[in-house]
Structure 1
Amino acid sequence: MSGIKKTTLEQIAEAAGVSLSTVDRVMNRRGGVSPAREARVLEWAHRLNVDRVMFRAYMRMLRVAILMQSPKNPFYLGLRNAFNDIGPALAEMRLHCDVHYLQLKDVNATVRQIHGIASAYDALIVVCPDDPDLAATLRQVALAMPVITLVTDIPDCGRLAYVGPDNAQMGRVAGELSGRFIGPQGGELLVVLGMKSMIGQGEREAGFRAVLASRYPSCQVVTTLESGENPRRAGDLVSRALSTWPGIRGIYNISSGNSNIVQALRAHGKEKQVVLITHELTADRRRLLLAGSIDAIIDQNPWEEARRALEVLARHFNRASEPDNHSEHTPFQIYLRENCPAEGQAAYGFRAGNR
């Protein structure tokens, strides 16, 4: 603080429209200053060319709650690990992350859970379904703090931003891969969702169907199954569908349960006859890809998603001076057997997962 003259503090206070004591509380992390007012102080400190690195050292730590599903699902395990990995790297922005797991089977309980968590934090990053009650709850929370939707959007929740992949484009890529792998003779296909209320999953299905209809009309989706994010149920549903439609030639699994689906294909003697396209390069799916049980994996980048979400918050609170030069959506990668990373080098820091 010795490098910042009192006159500079007074200039900051005058420009930001706050008292000198408020600037002093921000500088010395004494608390009692709202995030919005603190952000205004920081903005004018930056405009007046106060040493920003020095100034950050005196900012209070802002608490960010990450709300997502249980890490029993390997994607959420990877996302949790991504936040754990990226958090320390962004420590200079004075943001601290805590991960909380939502119990989505009971909407009323989830509403209470979100309100309880929000009361102790300065911002929320949320991965959850587009349920009307959950959206209304997030709108209430967004009146007091920034809310970011991650991976799958909830447009009508008052969010500050959506950070994640273009799910419709990912679905279109899955449709293109399926159509090309199955070939001109076409055939019947299954789509397996985890939860229909996850907008991102619905967008993937819509993109998948659109490409098949326009480019591969001989490929027909006969039904869409919903596993409820339960891997065993995914396998059971696929097994019954294979009995109902023995001519199935392709499966697009948008959620978990790939090991169980492969087991169902083996039980019906169709493991090498049915094209299986899925998402997320976990350790187990890598093995299935290399064995030829999965034909392609469309993998999003949870590390990049975590980083961008936290940077959006840092800019919102005027804790990052760098402009946002990123595209609207986060990138994704297509993996086949020939470009699959070696074991121990799974994409984007994913750790062991067995779904």
Structure 2
Amino acid sequence: MSHPFLVKDIAFQAGLSTATVDRVLNGRAGVRRQTEMRVKAAIAELEKQQAGVTASGRTLAIDIVMETPERFSDAVRAAFEAEVTTFLPTVFRCRFHFAEIMKPIELVQLLDRIRLRGTHGIVLKAPDIPEIAAAVERATKTGITVVTLVTDLPNSSRAVYAGADNRAAGETAAYLIGNRFDGAAARVLVTLSSGRFRGEEEREIGFRRVLRERYPEIGVAEISEGHGADAATGILAARAIAADAMINAVYSIGGGNRAVLAAFEEAGREIRIFVAHDLDADNRALLAAGKIGFVLHHDLRTDARSAFRAIMSGLVKERAAPAVLSAVEIITPYNMPANN
């Protein structure tokens, strides 16, 4: 496997021992396919970083841990990689740990492995549950700065939250949908990936509050635990549509939008307005095709910048300043920002 990097650098990036990396590089027997893929991914990541940064300045390794659909993790990866070059001469090496669904015990074990292996900081998108808060506490007690990303763990010892004001995002969705129906009765299908995420819960709270106060004629039907995956979300959406003939709008908090649209089409049901979150590849295509009406977008590069700054502050023992919340933008097919 040809590469210009030291074995110790590849091992550091991959989170493996130098002996394991050496076995992979030299094609020795007994290496699992998963381990080989981790080494290849680490080399690819180092090549990207080498292309965009210089060797001067301090090198900091940070771990980005997320339970999220692949379409969103791809957007996050792109944002963090784009922001790396803005912090020169400090060089951030980002190690990504993404999974669409992770059991709490798996997340806890991953966080503990990262803590024991060593890192300069952890950026975390995870459920707001006591086991995760306890793992964060163990990390921060060893001096690791933890930043929560897009969904918060307010009762943990994390340094800062980097993301949008989720309640304001939910309120904005309610305003768009309420104005669309202009006093007429309606029923909105609200989709959550999981009720365990604080950010999604806050979006729903903001959404329901504005409907209750300003648009009481609009009702809500909720589905959850599809984890943003198309297959599971589509099944839940189909069941909800079949059970409630009044549903004629969608507020997608948790994703799986292609599957939701397919469920309505299969049932021969009209969607009067569809409001989604995040300009991932799927939503860009659906918005351009007129399948969804609005996307509530916030700049993930702003979140990455906040995370990097918090980690740098933690290394010099400064109190991390509150991260700047990302602005929530209403995106239509006519003001879609470039995909960079």
- TM-score class, shorter: 0.7 to 0.9
Residue type at the aligned position of 2:74 = L
Partner of 2:307 in structure 1?
309
The CA deviation at 1:60 is 4.5
> Which of these residues, 78, 95, 98, is aligned with residue 98 of structure 1?
95
Partner of 1:17 in structure 2?
none
CA distance 1:211–1:282, change in 2 (3 Å): same
- 2:333 maps to 1:337: yes
- 2:145 maps to 1:149: no
CA distance 1:95–1:340, change in 2 (3 Å): closer
Alpha-carbon distance in structure 2 between the residues aligned to 1:82 and 1:254: 21
CA distance 1:180–1:127, change in 2 (3 Å): same
**Does the 8 A contact of 2:191 with 2:255 survive in 1?**
no
Alpha-carbon distance in structure 2 between the residues aligned to 1:75 and 1:178: 24
- 2:72 maps to 1:75: yes
Residue type at the aligned position of 1:139 = E
Q: 5+ unaligned residues in a row in structure 2: which ranges?
A: 1-54
CA distance 1:225–1:122, change in 2 (3 Å): closer
Partner of 2:26 in structure 1?
none
Alpha-carbon distance in structure 2 between the residues aligned to 1:58 and 1:241: 56
Partner of 1:168 in structure 2?
167
Cα offsets for 1:237-256 (capped at 9, x unmatched): 11111111112121111112
The CA deviation at 1:58 is 7.8
The CA deviation at 1:291 is 2.9
Q: 5+ unaligned residues in a row in structure 1: which ranges?
A: 1-56, 350-355
**Does the 8 A contact of 2:64 with 2:123 survive in 1?**
yes
How does 1:253-272 map onto structure 2 within 5 Å?
A: 253-271=252-270
After TM superposition, the structure 1 stretch with the greater mean CA deviation from structure 2, 72-81 or 191-200, is 72-81
CA distance 1:58–1:281, change in 2 (3 Å): closer
Residue type at the aligned position of 2:102 = K
Query: CA RMSD of the aligned region, Å?
Result: 2.4
CA distance 1:85–1:58, change in 2 (3 Å): closer
TM-score normalized by structure 2?
0.77
- Paired-residue identity, %: 28
Cα offsets for 1:51-79 (capped at 9, x unmatched): xxxxxx98652321111135x53121100
Partner of 1:215 in structure 2?
214
**Does the 8 A contact of 1:187 with 1:220 survive in 2?**
yes
Alpha-carbon distance in structure 2 between the residues aligned to 1:265 and 1:217: 24
Between the two proteins, the alignment pairs up a number of residues equal to 284
How does 1:259-298 map onto structure 2 within 5 Å?
A: 259-271=258-270, 273-298=271-296
- 2:124 maps to 1:126: yes
Look up the SS of the partner of 2:199 in the other structure: helix
Partner of 1:115 in structure 2?
112
> Which of these residues, 135, 138, 147, is aligned with residue 136 of structure 2?
138
Structure of greater Rg: 1
